[in-house]
Structure 1
């Protein structure tokens, strides 16, 4: 019986299909597994690379920094960590063909955004007391900007006041010249009464020389009047531009207390017309004076040529002859101005101006606690990140990010009040000021704190009717009872601004002594009287006051300055401080070598288990990235 092979062939073909399907499934599973294994290996290797962070940077600043001078170091380290995975790939059968770092982001890149992110990642686990929220941060920023704007405007108005005082002094010079002319006129008239022709002409010549000074004095007066007018216009433009930064109450107070500047300029226009008429009057007087001098020569000639032969003749009538000279001289009326200068108590004015002079000449010596030495640290280093990477960089940071940055810096950096013995001590001050020495940084920071306090103090004075009345009373003493009302208002505002400055000096002295000062002043927390202000100008010394328990300390005001500053600039300066301090143990440490994020792309060669023909190998690509 002949057997048929159809069933055998059928089953053989079926088994072949089944085995092919099973092998394909196995190959597909192995390929998928190899990709998963490769991804796991790549990520694990990258984790191992980033686990080699700089230990001292973490211990001192709680920052993860991977120190690598070149991109090749990351690639080489990654290959080293991934090699054991390749050697143990077993079933997956992998060999590394190539690997490249395609994205390296260093901590100095991005305008400081990577350092900011690390700080925020660390600070989100912090516990803070009395920390403001987003709304509070907005209000704080508004108050700080308002204080800065008020300080800027008060400085401009103070400059205007000084120009007004110089204008008054120019007017005083003109009045003094006119008074001197009257004195020479009277002296010449006395010589006429004494029948002294040469003496009369000497006094007349002195009078003429004094009259010749008038055009120069008027020119000086006109220049100062023009300078004042232009300066007030610029200040008013600045006041208009700052409207958005000022609250409605402060805007109204400033507008009311500074309106006197415009009134003064308008009133000075009438006064200036009277002053500019003086040269014409002087010319008329000179003509009369020449006639009087000519007549004096005629009188002397008559007397000298008188014929004394007649014994009954008593000689010439000297009274009548010289009286004719006096009649002509009487026509030379010395003009007088209907306006007098408005600064009568120049001593008090000088003392007030002296207070502001301390800011330029000896502020640190005025506010430093007794026995406290200024650090001599120097920060000049051309390798600082702020020098090599920070130029022109801009970093956007939210209000809460700025507050957290300030809290971070307060935790890890030193300041004037710190007790640590370091070569460079004023690290927080450097973040604020960015100068090359500790002394310069402290001086600039003190000026910036003074700016905040002066602005806030003036805001309080503008809202306190009693202090405004005291300032107006002192202004009345300075300008005198005959002083121009607008000038009295100008001097009153000057006194208020100097008073705010004097109180700010006391505030800063307290802060440097380690005491607290409230942000918003009240009558109870105000310390400096007007008498104390004048004494400050006289002696150049001041004493701190009682500490405000609910106030803000020195480092708190430094955090306010950081809050106001440019974030990118501050982040690079922070890198400067980190680099400088870590270099004490590792001289070649540079922040620019520190990696924050890296990406590696690699290609490995894997082998087909069941298929492949003449080319059983195939490439597998992998991408891995890591950031702290």
Structure 2
């Protein structure tokens, strides 16, 4: 008689074993797919890093800015240039398209601005920037005071003209500093303020094709922005002073010899830029000079004596006080001319004047700018140089304006002085994000993104 054996446990265990095999197979397959995904992501990451390793070396060596020159020295830009390089560096088995891209000139040069700021942070540290930030309010006050005093000068001149015209009288021209300074103001300022040894650069560029003026190639998409506790304009200001020359520098091998002046004025030739900057400096010096005169009783008395002499033959009530005020304003302006001469001669000028640092006697106004006027100003220990005054003017300018003009100079220098005629700031790539699609086994596709940014 055969023994009957029940098989429920065997069948149950077989089913469990089958399920375990299925689970193990699924886990292995999932891990295998994940490994493939990681390999694809790694390949794409290596490819994009390799592309960004091909940065423009001349740009880096001269201006410490990283960017991929997207035409690859051909002068012809296409996104296919980048996609082809991605494929060359290991992303050939996937479909890639550029989803976001940023060029050096995008958003008023924001990518360039950020790199310049980061470079100066590393070079100088926070302490230097904080000291400059503390002086920024002083510069702003100086500018506002100068503008107010200039308005006062306009009001005084108008009031004096009205009184004299109504009385049908006029001040004598002889020994009249108001008349002398008025003629200077209406003339070409460089002829008056430049030291005799100073030779004005006649260099000029074609500004029509510059970055700040032409129609630009633009990117798309947005990237995260860095946050700065110290005002970034301080660091950018330091960058401009580091990388660009001005009228007081000896180097003259660039398309424009007065680069900092170009940043401030944006004109196509050196002489016009210098003329405009000189006028700004005169206004900036006019304020503190006039402020000091108002506190110096001896100089006010001297101005009053001269005013009384000029008004001796006039029958206009109250005109002497107005003439005195006009003389003080003219004297402050004349002292400003001496200040600018000092600066352009390589000397230093204090921000606030004193009895000791005052340069121009009242009688000197009458010969200012004449053929025998060879006074090139004094050097005052502890004062500020020409470049430092330019730094003040730069701090007061708009960030976007300075950034685009800086790109003008960089592009012009690379294209002409450094023989990189293919270079254009709006084809230099600083940030990139690609969307990638790759096929895996059994019809599975994998979509992912890759991003790289110069920081």
Same fold (TM over 0.5): yes
Residues in 2 aligned to 1:398 and 1:12: alpha-carbon distance in whole angstroms: 67
8 Å CA contact retained: 2:180, 2:366: no
Question: Is the alpha carbon distance of 1:168 and 1:356 closer, same or farther for their aligned partners in structure 2, counting shifts above 3 Å?
Answer: closer
The partner residue of 1:385 within 206, 211, 223 is 211
Looking at structure 2, the residues matched to 437 and 482 of structure 1 have their Cα atoms a distance apart, in angstroms, of 47
* Structure exhibiting the larger radius of gyration computed from Cα positions: 1
Note if contact 2:130-2:230 (Cα within 8 Å) is conserved in structure 1: no
- Alignment match, 1:602: 436
CA contact (8 A) 1:116 1:571 kept: yes
Q: What is the CA distance between 1:440 and its match in structure 2?
A: 0.8
Q: Could you tell me which residue of structure 1 aligns to residue 26 of structure 2?
A: 24
- Compared with structure 1, are the counterparts of its residues 493 and 10 closer, same or farther at alpha carbon in structure 2 (3 Å cutoff)? same
* Aligned residue among 49, 52, 56 for 2:51: 49
List aligned pairs for 1:434-473, cutoff 5 A: 434-473=266-305
2:102 matched to which residue of 1?
A: 105
1:552 counterpart residue number: 384
Write the distance in 2 (CA, Å) between the matches of 1:398 and 1:494: 46
Counterparts of 1:551 and 1:466 in 2: how far apart (Å)? 24
- Provide the residue aligned with 1:428 in structure 2: 260
Moved more, 63-72 or 429-438: 63-72
Instruction: Provide the C-alpha distance between the structure 1 equivalents of 2:371 and 2:149, rounded to a whole number of angstroms.
Output: 25
Aligned partners of 1:160 and 1:547: how far apart in 2? Answer: 36
- Secondary structure class of the residue paired with 1:459: helix
Q: 1:64: Cα distance to partner?
A: 0.7
Contact 2:132–2:234, Cα closer than 8 Å, also in 1: no
User: How far apart in 2 are the matches of 1:14 and 1:577?
Assistant: 75
Question: Are residues 1:35 and 2:37 paired?
Answer: yes
Distance in 2 of aligned mates of 1:485 and 1:540: 38
The reply to whether residue 479 of structure 1 matches residue 289 of structure 2 is no
Contact 2:344–2:386 (CA under 8 A) maintained in structure 1: yes
Once the two structures are superposed, residues 47-90 of structure 1 have per-residue CA deviations (whole angstroms, 9 ceiling, x without a partner) of 2111111100000000112111232322222232233xx7xxxx
Contact 2:293 2:328 in 1 (8 A): yes
Deviations 1:563-595 (A, max 9, x none): 111221111110010001100211121111111
- Offset at residue 596 of structure 1 (A): 1.8
Deviations 1:322-343 (A, max 9, x none): xxxxxxxxxxxxxxxxxxx4x5
Higher helix content, 1 or 2: 1
Gaps of 5+ in 2: 71-76, 217-227
Match for residue 157 of structure 1?
Answer: 155
In structure 2, the partner of 1:567 is 399
Q: Equivalent residue of 1:125, what SS?
A: helix
After superposition, the Cα gap between the structure-2 partners of 1:34 and 1:471, relative to the gap in structure 1 and judged at 3 Å, is farther
Distance apart, 1:455 and its partner CA = 1.9
Aligned counterpart, 1:400 = 231
Structure 1 residues 459 and 32: CA distance shift in structure 2, 3 A: farther
Measure the CA separation in 1 of the matches of 2:414 and 2:335: 41
Tell me: CA distance 1:618–1:137, structure 2 relative to 1, closer, same or farther (3 Å).
Answer: farther
**1:107: how far off?**
1.2
C-alpha contact (below 8 Å) 1:416/1:426 kept by paired residues:
yes
Distance 1:121 1:491, change over 3 A: same
Residues 402 and 562, structure 1, Cα contact 8 Å, conserved in 2: no
Give the structure 1 partner of residue 197 of structure 2: 371
1:143 shift after superposition: 1.9
Aligned to 1:179: none
Q: Which moved more, 1:460-469 or 1:550-559?
A: 460-469
The answer to whether the 8 Å contact 1:458/1:497 transfers is: yes
Which of the residues 502, 514, 529 maps onto 2:334? 502
**Residue 79 (structure 1) aligned with residue 87 (structure 2):** yes
Q: Residues 536 and 542 of structure 1 are in contact (CA less than 8 Å); yes or no, is this contact kept in structure 2? A: no
Asked if the contact 2:180/2:365 (under 8 Å) is kept, the reply is: no
Alpha-carbon distance, 1:144 to partner? 3.0
Q: CA deviation at 1:3?
A: 4.3
Distance 1:148 1:617, change over 3 A: farther
Q: Secondary structure at the match of 2:275?
A: helix
Change (3 A) 1:354 1:132: farther
C-alpha distance in structure 2 between counterparts of 1:344 and 1:142, whole Å: 37
| Aligned position for 1:619 | 445
Q: 1:260-299 residue pairs with structure 2 within 5 A?
A: none
* Aligned residue number for residue 276 of structure 1: none
> TM-score, length-normalised on structure 1?
0.64
Question: CA 1:538/1:582 → structure 2, altered by over 3 Å: closer, same or farther?
Answer: closer
CA displacement at 1:13 relative to structure 2: 1.3
SS at match of 1:376: coil
Structure-1 residue corresponding to 2:223 = none
Alpha-carbon distance in structure 1 between the residues aligned to 2:190 and 2:318: 36
1:593 to 411, 427, 442: 427
Distance in 1 separating the partners of 2:102 and 2:317: 66
| In structure 2, distance between residues paired with 1:60 and 1:442 | 24
Cα gap change, 1:133 to 1:171, in 2 (>3 Å): same
What is the match of residue 173 of structure 2? Answer: 346
Shift in alpha-carbon separation, 1:149–1:540, aligned structure 2, 3 A: farther
Residues 161/506 of structure 1: CA separation in 2 closer, same or farther (3 Å cut)? farther
User: Deviations 1:211-261 (Å, cap 9, x if unpaired)?
Assistant: xxxxxxxxxxxxxxxxxxxxxxxxxxxxxxxxxxxxxxxxxxxxxxxxxxx
The structure 2 residue matched to 1:411, chosen from 231, 242, 247, is 242
- Structure 1 residues 162 and 426 mapped into 2: Cα distance closer, same or farther (>3 Å)? farther
Query: Does the CA contact (< 8 Å) of 1:108 and 1:389 recur in 2?
Result: no
Note the C-alpha offset of 1:426.
Answer: 0.9
- Number of residue pairs matched by the alignment: 431
Given the two structures, how large is their TM-score scaled by the length of structure 2? Answer: 0.87
3-state DSSP of counterpart to 1:347: coil
What SS does the aligned partner of 2:113 have? helix
State the secondary structure of the residue aligned to 1:53.
Answer: coil
Task: Classify 1:485/1:132 alpha carbon distance in 2 versus 1 (closer, same or farther; 3 Å).
Answer: farther
